Structure 1
Amino acid sequence: MKYAVRTILDARAELAEGPFWDEEDQHLYWVNINAGEIHRCDPSPGTDTLVTAGQKVGAAVLDREGNFIAAGEKGFFRLSSEGGDSEEIASPETDNPDSRFNDGKCDPAGRFWAGTMSLSRTTGTAALYCLDEKGAVSRRVEGVTVSNGLAWDLKRSLMFYIDTPTKCVVAFSCNMENGEISSPRIAFSTPPELGSPDGMTIDDEGMLWIAFYRGACVARWNPENGEMIEQVGIPAPHVTSCCFGGKDRATLFVTTARQGMDPEGLRKYPEAGGIFAFEPGVSGAPGYRYRG
């Protein structure tokens, strides 16, 4: 099926990531990781404001008071929506100079999950962490290399997770009451020619939407049988993540990057690093605020 993919914001960001649609204020939030920026975008007029965090930011959500809860270079911190000094919550990776935090989001119970990545891509040296409602941080998955996409199924009994170099989506059994995960299994693998699986979300039919870095696309997958249902081209080679939002959460917002692109690539994809959107014909999961 052909979709009308449009540019929401010609941001030309080096590394746009972590799109988060807030149901309360109806805005799209996203981060420019290496610049240490947290952005607030109104998609209709395409306006965008930002605050700087003073460190790289892999992901950011809002808490109940409207402050940012973010995953930074080495840990979790709180930052006013107006900017200013940040407040450290926990820094579990200060002893690992080869890591920074990467993608993350809140589960339906309001816990903030975020993982790290090895800057040198050393296999198995990163991890996935959870910041619970009491402000305690625990390591939930070890042996990770580049922690990325997260999604929870409609019954809230499964958590889907991507460690990018594995090119697999892993399903964990999860207990939403206490946040415990167990029994990991490979739900499906993605073909190497599609690029590297990055950020992820889930629609209201239980299908996963995955952004493919170096793949210039997002693709929809059935996690029960591993079938790729459809592939949607994005006018940027490095597609980083996606989320549902807008009216009735019927729009898929897509973030991209322009890092590492040469002049020829930038001529071919001048809007790389922008924020894109299209209507996929299905609504999807909301963004959740941190409930700490």
Structure 2
Amino acid sequence: MDKPKISVFCDVACELGEGPGYDPLTKTVWWFDIVTGRLFEKPLAGGDVQIQSLGQMASALAVIDEGRQLIATETGLFVRDRQTGHTTLRQPIEADNPLTRSNDARVHPAGAFWIGTMGKKSEKGAGSIYWYRQGELRKLFSDISISNSISFSPEGRIAYFADTGKNIIWRVDTDPETGLPTGEPALFYQHKEKGGVDGSVVDGDGNLWNACWGRSSIDVYAPSGKRIRSIAMPVLQPSCPAFVSEDSGNLIVTTAYHHMTEAVHQSDPDAGKTFLIELAGKGRFDPPVRL
């Protein structure tokens, strides 16, 4: 097993970095600072980072096409024009509830966007998970405290999601043609060690890569739920990984200094920066969302 190379991809620290992804159409990496409502975009090959203030909390993004993106925010889904930065409301989600916001999200192979919500203060059971596709919105699961780890098997027959409040990752069978659940969630993994299960992504072999918040690691789980690898991170709070290559296991990983005491932050000076992990493997990209 190769030893990964870990480097800082962007040294602009985010209080709560989240929602990373890669657009193969433009060869651009994106991520968010949720609490400050900022979207970051940077070419994978290098160059300046572009930062846009969105005016509200935002956490995740789906590619529509080369010029448009669908952004999950605290009030719903917005279409963003990449050239102008202009956003237009597409679908309200919990817009009438000022206590919640979007959190983790990812696109199913069928083009359906699964979006998780949570309380802004992590209120118990305040969050839900939604399915959006071709103008239709459905609530799939509720009574979730901190929605996370939304990800899918390569063929689209399995979905994963977590409640970090319970430190449990579930798996549920899904229709590969629609991305809708076809059964009830079952336990995939329950974390009983230090830290909490956060964002995840599934590779081309069906393994789930999970950022373990508070444990300084990216943990890899086989489809059976067995942990098969851990990659040590140089920060305490990694929040979410995303593949940036289909020919390797290269990952972008967001991190955070959210809720750190001043003393802990001083001992973790790279907290909030965005990292690149280079290693062998078989990455996957999310497909475009079917608007």
Which of the five TM-score ranges fits, normalised by the shorter chain?
Answer: over 0.9
- 1-structure distance, mates of 2:66, 2:279: 32
Tell me, in whole angstroms, the C-alpha distance in 2 between the residues paired with 1:288 and 1:53.
24
The residue that corresponds to 1:288 in the other structure is 287
CA contact (8 A) 1:249 1:285 kept: no
- Runs of 5+ consecutive residues of structure 2 not aligned to the other structure: none
Q: Pairwise CA RMSD of aligned residues?
A: 1.8
- Equivalence map 1:140-219=2 (5 Å): 140-181=140-181, 182-193=183-194, 195-219=195-219
TM-score (norm 2): 0.93
Residue 79 of structure 1, CA deviation: 1.8
Letter of the aligned partner of 2:204 in structure 1? D
Distance 2:9 2:16 in 1: 16
Residue by residue over 1:52-102, the C-alpha shift from the partner in whole angstroms, topping out at 9 and shown as x without a partner, is 211110111221252121111121111211345421122231332321111
2:41–2:50 CA contact under 8 A, matched in 1 = yes
- Letter in structure 2 aligned against 1:269: D
In 1, the alpha carbon distance for the partners of 2:249 and 2:71 equals 26
Equivalent residues in 2 for 1:50-65, closer than 5 Å: 50-65=51-66
Size of the alignment, in residue pairs? 289
Establish whether residue 92 from structure 1 lines up as the match of residue 93 from structure 2.
yes
Distance of 1:278 and 1:85 partners within structure 2: 32
| 1: CA distance, partners of 2:26 / 2:65 | 12
Identity of aligned residues (%): 26
Aligned residue for 1:266, secondary structure, equals helix
SS of 2:128's equivalent? strand
SS at match of 1:96: coil
Runs of 4 or more off by more than 4 Å in structure 1?
none
Point out where structure 1 has 5 or more consecutive residues left out of the alignment.
none
- Residue of structure 1 equivalent to 2:75: 74
Residue identity in the other structure for 2:164? T
SS in structure 1 at match of 2:165: helix
Check conservation: 1:23, 1:287, Cα contact below 8 A: no
Structure-2 separation of matches of 1:111 and 1:66: 19
1:242 aligns with 2:247: no
Deviations along 1:156-178, one digit per CA (max 9) or x if unpaired, are 21111112112111111100212
Question: Could you give the per-residue CA deviations for residues 4-43 of structure 1, whole angstroms, max 9, x where no partner exists?
Answer: 2111111211111111111111111111111211111123
Residue type of the alignment partner of 2:242: C
